[in-house]
Structure 1
């Protein structure tokens, strides 16, 4: 990185907005996602002059999520801009997901002039820094134009070092539009060399080597933190003869055809109650509901568990961990391989068993491609989609049951990168922004933006953004005219007690293919199984494009069945999507019911 030197624009004064834009460009920012607001004009003009590409979206939530999608695919900090108060408030969901999912985002916002504080000025009601602090790594208001480069550099480093996450800087409009005193511009703390991430403790690595060599059925489960570890992770897997699975937050960089690629970690649930893994390395993969919680279905409770994470607080958060290591994932892989030597046994039967998980005979494979209601079976429809898209595409999975069908068939597509966009918040609609960011980060690949008709409705107006910027995105809507997980969950719980299914139906009259065409994208409707392959291949060549694939609301996905947790045992209270809880004082409760009969 060259030493930062600000440049005076031609034919006008240099302003705070120029300092902001040039500071970001000096730090490596090449693109920013956002929505226009007059508060930000000094920055937007400065960004244009500094060579930063501006991708303007139709909603601030999507802008922040596009910055996150860009960060997840590029490995760089995603930059976004939202205007004062109203735009800021719309951007909060994006900050919330980025904070929960540890994504490095630099969010720019503005506010009324400093002299107008607490005067009920336009777009000046909320103190944006106070509101943002709980869901950011760093939030700050710049009150001195000359300090912009220093604060920007500090915030940028905060976003992208250690446990990564979003930062937000509030630049009051008068600060952005004010010219700095040039010899007072704070440049001293701008050009800081990159901070080296933490490496693992050598003695703990030795302990892990010994434990790993004793394993008969080892697995590695990776998370988002393995971004950029492609070669060294593959070397780790090959050195230890260990199959690699991934949390659906981010697919493993192990090649699609490699014998040690096991697919989504949820597939390990097929071994529950059978001969399961006896050693699990959680490599930058957080435990929780994405790995079946504390049930032991994915991470067996009786296995030797090792966990590597940048955050020591995550280690052992929901599972008893035998070996914990605070380290960067890539540095851990390098250190382990350097110390490992030989002596790792190879269990060919286990390797094959793990590799074949994606081909196990799910009951859906044997079911008819058309359901009794005459509509396409969602499993077969999504499988046909995955078979029809180009290998090495980038796949964003959104929605409830639509997302689950996509995850079950994902490995068929042999994706370059795949991720479930809903994250730890279960946030529907993220896929639109993620797809936009991914398409900008890697324009060489097709981005497949998968939704149900529920999640699609959150930000479908971004088809306009996709068309205006001619992004290589194919949107797939698995349309069953319902909130699938919601209605199927109600069916499981209330089948015997109520016919009502409140707030679960969506319109059968919405023609998403027509909506797509109205926004300037190609649109096609798919109603039959033999139409899927040809239509998807046609739409791949016609991006930006959208397929409205009509599917049945049944059957219920296995994930919904397990998450709802219905039981006939009267001693348990069913708590949908969480662990059931024991009914307190059940005998007294039962006696009370009998007394009232």
Structure 2
């Protein structure tokens, strides 16, 4: 008979879910899990801050469409991970966080790093529990995965007291669940799909708005077929970016506001009517709105719908295509009008994309980055205005080619996402677009990149400020009352990365950008290209709506 401890049981259960890497910052309460990883061949990526471990677990989830895992120690280890858990919750990203806990026989005695994690985490997880018996660890892990991956996906949290984790039991006496969560698609009501198809067939100015659920449900091919069938313009957000190639004649990005106000039938699939869509208010009152979402509580939130469909994005699009089979649609005038507006906006931006002014215009930086991004490049956006501009300019043409924080707007996600992508896609080039404010949050994870040989390249748009905040302060109070939002002048983030063992480039003129990028990627090291950009670039509004 073989004796195993709780750490062995944790890792054996994780491997049954295809988990081949965990992200962690070392802690005594959970070290039995690390030891088991050595035996089971599970990679351990140890970071410099638990927040990065949590973001990495979410990044792994996004990259694999499975459930990433972070392991953190008790007390401050768990609390340091809270922001990452909340971000995953808002993004509907499945994730399992395993947290240490003081031993059962020391509960409420003031043990080291003792606290009630469950009450803290219940509002931002789908499931949060403590396991009290070593033999039941695999059962609890299976339950955590079931909650994280079923219905509306999201994070789960499992707390394991240290005496439960370190205790040894007979492996033969342990129950390992085998079939414990559904894996099929949730098909929508056929009657509602039929009604939606009828509305769309009668439309004169149809529009499709597709979001992150399109990515999670692997619906990009069905989305392409559907817009081609209906001859409708498509706009993408979140992880939906890349679902349609930007050279496709039905792909639009610059005229979203105009299109939302002018369309007569809109199919909004897999994205909530939150601040990104002006809470649904940007659609005209006459627009007939069809909402599709896996989460029924999102349907009708912020705006009345004409028709609501609960279901998987891929399954719904397949059924809509079947309903429209044999029919032909033309919306030439609608499409031509939007395309003309797109080209007009593109021409207006060309002046700044080609500008040689110093400090560098951020659109010139984005143009240089766009020329460098190929099909083998994954882009991670972690910042404010510079990331918003990059999302508009960079060629994102494949599902999973673009990562950003999501609707929670968490800054500092980038390094965690990048280390996850390095694990999942070791042959890809990984480009991280940073603001200089963001770099200060988790920039020391470049040490992690160096230790694990992850040649991530960060391009920092350094405008020496928290730009989205200074814009609002100047508008509301005047330039002379800007406070708490300015950063050090020409801070050398590139030297920080070089000091950690990476490669650094400092760029102050537009002609230096491309050679610096080439040297950074050619170095084979984690690298930072620190680009000094204009604090008040002409032609750019910047800022964000927080009211």
TM-score range, shorter chain: over 0.9
Deviations 1:119-144 (A, max 9, x none): 100111x2112211111000111110
Matching residue of 1:141: 130
1:243 pairs with 2:229: no
Matching residue of 1:23: 13
Residues 87-102 of structure 1 mapped to structure 2, 5 A cutoff:
87-102=77-92
Q: Is the 8 A contact 1:389 1:537 kept in 2?
A: no
Matching residue of 1:174: 163
1:191 pairs with 2:179: yes
Q: Is the 8 A contact 1:66 1:437 kept in 2?
A: yes
Q: CA deviation at 1:230?
A: 2.6
1:50 pairs with 2:35: no
1:475 pairs with 2:458: yes
Deviations 1:181-201 (A, max 9, x none): 4453233x4433634232110
Matching residue of 1:540: 521
Q: Is the 8 A contact 2:23 2:45 kept in 1?
A: yes
Of 219, 222, 227, 2:210 maps to 222
Matching residue of 2:74: 84
1:507 pairs with 2:500: no
1:397 pairs with 2:381: yes
Distance in 2, matches of 1:195 and 1:408, equals: 35
Structure 1 residues 254 and 231 mapped into 2: Cα distance closer, same or farther (>3 Å)? same
Q: Is the 8 A contact 2:196 2:290 kept in 1?
A: yes
1:366 pairs with 2:351: yes
Q: What SS does the aligned partner of 1:417 have?
A: coil
Number of matched residues?
Answer: 542
Matching residue of 1:157: 146
Distance in 1, matches of 2:129 and 2:493, equals: 42
Deviations 1:90-139 (A, max 9, x none): 01111111111110001111111100001100111x21122111110001
Q: What SS does the aligned partner of 1:458 have?
A: helix
Matching residue of 1:284: 270
Of 118, 124, 128, 2:117 maps to 128
Q: Is the 8 A contact 1:250 1:420 kept in 2?
A: no
Deviations 1:435-470 (A, max 9, x none): 222222222222211111011110000111112222
Q: CA deviation at 1:52?
A: 1.4
Q: CA deviation at 1:21?
A: 0.3
Segment drifting more, 392-401 vs 54-63: 392-401
Matching residue of 1:523: 504
Q: CA deviation at 1:238?
A: 2.1
Matching residue of 2:306: 322
Q: Is the 8 A contact 1:83 1:109 kept in 2?
A: yes
Q: Is the 8 A contact 2:126 2:154 kept in 1?
A: yes
Distance in 1, matches of 2:442 and 2:233, equals: 38
Residues 571-586 of structure 1 mapped to structure 2, 5 A cutoff:
577-578=546-547
Segment drifting more, 29-38 vs 89-98: 29-38
Structure 1 residues 353 and 523 mapped into 2: Cα distance closer, same or farther (>3 Å)? farther
Deviations 1:210-256 (A, max 9, x none): 10011122221111111222322222222222222111354142234
Deviations 1:293-346 (A, max 9, x none): 3441xx444322111101111011112211100001111122222222132412
Q: Is the 8 A contact 2:242 2:398 kept in 1?
A: no
Larger Rg: 1
Distance in 2, matches of 1:315 and 1:542, equals: 49
Of 286, 289, 293, 1:305 maps to 289
Q: CA deviation at 1:389?
A: 2.4
1:387 pairs with 2:371: yes
Q: Is the 8 A contact 2:369 2:394 kept in 1?
A: no
Deviations 1:402-432 (A, max 9, x none): 2222122133x54653546232222111122
Q: CA deviation at 1:285?
A: 0.9
1:211 pairs with 2:199: yes
Deviations 1:137-187 (A, max 9, x none): 001111101111111111111111110000010111111111124453233
Q: What SS does the aligned partner of 2:481 have?
A: coil
Q: Is the 8 A contact 1:149 1:186 kept in 2?
A: yes
Instruction: Structure 1 unaligned segments of length 5 or more: list them.
Output: 1-6, 565-576, 579-597
Distance in 2, matches of 1:357 and 1:14, equals: 66
Q: Is the 8 A contact 1:65 1:94 kept in 2?
A: yes
Matching residue of 1:572: none
Q: Is the 8 A contact 2:459 2:528 kept in 1?
A: yes
Deviations 1:528-570 (A, max 9, x none): 1112222223323334222101100113775636x45xxxxxx
Distance in 2, matches of 1:406 and 1:211, equals: 35
Q: Is the 8 A contact 2:6 2:137 kept in 1?
A: yes
Q: Is the 8 A contact 2:220 2:399 kept in 1?
A: no
Normalising by structure 2, what TM-score? 0.93
Q: What SS does the aligned partner of 1:280 have?
A: strand
